[in-house]
Structure 1
Amino acid sequence: MPSVTLAQMRAVEALARTGKFSRAAEDLGISQPSVSTQVQSFEELCRTRVFIRDGHNVTVAPSAIDLIAKIKITLKCVQEVDRAIADTTSLNKGTISIGFSAHRLLMPILTAFVRQFPSLRLTTRGGPSLELTDAVARGELDVAAVSQVAPDGRFSSLRLHQSRVAIYGRKGDPLLGRGKLTLADLDGRDMVLWNKASGTRTLLEDAANRQGIQLKPVMEVATLDVAYAAAAAGIGLAISIEGEVSPDDHIDVVPLVEPELQIGHYLITLPECRDHAAIQAFFDIAKDHLAEAEGDLPYA
């Protein structure tokens, strides 16, 4: 039986990413008929449908999502081999993609990385933890900093923080004026909550359900700036990791005191990509930053 080739995988990955044969050809620097030939040859090898065609637009078939993820990860490994052959001494070119659910917690590490490796092209993506975790698993992100109750065994992980959950809302709210809160204080209160892909929201709702506490979401958000604006306007109380949002002239921030309402913030990558040079460098800088700030934290 014929084996899949690198050319086929590159064409399939480019088509999956761009959604058009013309864009895939432009991205790869080859002709559109060449992309079509490589994709057709790949599809003939597969026992499942790979792409759904709708005119000039192409989408990945649901049955092929995991297959495309494996191709993306394989091509990352091939790129790392190419890099090692071309330059074994320094990181003076290449790319790394990094996701984060709480940019303030990751920014010192990002800053140190950019200063040390200015020639690397860094792309970033914010979003809820569960979405970012899935993106790493699919090979769409090299690294992500996400909030999790415990390490996910699918990934190589480094714990960056162990933080309490904090509640924030409009300046002068009597509830926040107490200086500390319990989960029971939130019973029936209007809440501005992250969407259900948020690890922090999942932790809070699971704990509330166990205690029979009724959270009252009046607004769901997907970005920190919208959550902040809604809380400052008095729409409801919002949640964050402690340190992610700071009190100011518009909001007060108070931690929840229950010890079980703590969540870890982890740097994650796929194990097969952990020793790639740029990813290794990012983890090393993160470890150095942690050692300086609070003592060395072990790998999870």
Structure 2
Amino acid sequence: MPAKVSLKQLQALESVARNGSFTHAARELGVSQPTVSNLIYTLERQFDCRLLDRSGNTITPTEQFTQISGHIKSVLSLSETITRQLTSERDLITGRFEIGYSVHQIAIPIIAEFVRAYPDLQVNACGDSAQDLLDDLRNGQLDVAFITAQDLPIHLTGVEICKTRIGLAVPAGDPLAQKTALNWHDVANLPLILRMPGSGTQKIFDAAARRRDLPPPRGLRFGAWCSALALVQQKVGLAISLERECQGETDVRFVPINDPLLTAKHFIVCQQALRDTAPIQRFMETATAHVARDAEQPAKLA
């Protein structure tokens, strides 16, 4: 009879990969550390494969694990859904739910609404660049991610939630703040504050510059919007920003750049293998309802 993977093996494997530790996984699963080790050792022997790289004191998923991580999480999530339904807890969603986001002004209202709707679900959310979020999503570290991009990434599924113009964050007292828009030649000699290379916003900005045969933008790079905002407020430079990021800021103005290519789309994405699991379905439903309400108030999505 061909070897088959057991649910316990998948639970042990997913927990170790996520926690980076056999000890932490054992504590999470309520079993002994040798039990976890034996489950994974047996799994790797059964299929003559290497799913975890045990280099020194570090445990990291291998490429083979990464390729199946979405299916593993899907199986475990569906198993939990079946268990809840068999115990007549059809509307109860429990467990862990990991969310990543690149623009907190867009993500947090939706996340907050989801947390209020499902208080028994342990929700963890973290901010990062779009590229890092995509890597974490493919590695199984995240369930869903809010990303900034021009198109939905291949091999992922998701929904577009809004569009935002890209331009510059300018101090309110700067003469440029009175302009309705800038042209590329206006931008060429300005002191820019750039986003990190993995930023979806920066990638769109750089691509638009290349399409216009302009040299790559140069300037100070920042990793978090709050850092860029502080630099703009201190009049160190003008930050490449999304219009949504400047809304509500009293001492900073958003000035768009006159180029139709400088429009960012914002997506909520997940692995295709996970799209039918209950928590992700509920999250997408929450997001869709939230976006529909916002669509009735155009000023919020400007």
TM-score tier after normalising by the smaller chain length: 0.7 to 0.9
Q: Counterpart in 2 of 1:298? A: none
* 1:153-232 aligned within 5 A: 153-232=154-233
1:165-209 Cα shifts (integer Å, max 9, x gaps):
131033333333323112332214332222111111101101111
- CA separation of 1:32/1:117 partners in 2, compared to 1, >3 Å: closer, same or farther? closer
**Runs of 5+ consecutive residues of structure 1 not aligned to the other structure:** 296-300
Letter in 2 for 1:29: G
Indicate the larger mover: 57-66 or 127-136.
57-66
Q: Is the CA contact 2:114–2:283 (under 8 Å) kept in the aligned structure 1? A: yes
Q: Counterpart in 2 of 1:31? A: 32
Q: Is the CA contact 2:70–2:273 (under 8 Å) kept in the aligned structure 1? A: no
Q: Counterpart in 2 of 1:255? A: 256
* TM-superposed deviation, 1:48: 4.0
Q: Is the CA contact 1:8–1:38 (under 8 Å) kept in the aligned structure 2? A: yes
- CA separation of 1:43/1:287 partners in 2, compared to 1, >3 Å: closer, same or farther? same
* 1:105-120 aligned within 5 A: 105-120=106-121
Where 1:243 maps in the other structure, the secondary structure is: helix
Task: Count residues with an aligned counterpart.
Answer: 296
- CA separation of 1:221/1:6 partners in 2, compared to 1, >3 Å: closer, same or farther? same
- CA separation of 1:15/1:177 partners in 2, compared to 1, >3 Å: closer, same or farther? same
Q: Counterpart in 1 of 2:42? A: 41
1:206-255 Cα shifts (integer Å, max 9, x gaps):
11112122344332222111121122223322122221223644322212
Where 1:152 maps in the other structure, the secondary structure is: coil
**Runs of 5+ consecutive residues of structure 2 not aligned to the other structure:** 297-302
Q: Percent identity?
A: 29
TM-score, with normalisation over the residues of structure 1?
0.87
Distance in 1 of aligned mates of 2:259 and 2:208: 10
Distance in 1 of aligned mates of 2:293 and 2:22: 49
Q: Counterpart in 2 of 1:239? A: 240
- CA separation of 1:73/1:231 partners in 2, compared to 1, >3 Å: closer, same or farther? farther
Letter in 2 for 1:289: H
1:239-290 Cα shifts (integer Å, max 9, x gaps):
2222122364432221223122111111222233223222222222222222
Q: Counterpart in 1 of 2:20? A: 19
1:18-56 Cα shifts (integer Å, max 9, x gaps):
223222221221111111211211221344433333444
1:141-161 Cα shifts (integer Å, max 9, x gaps):
222221111222423322211
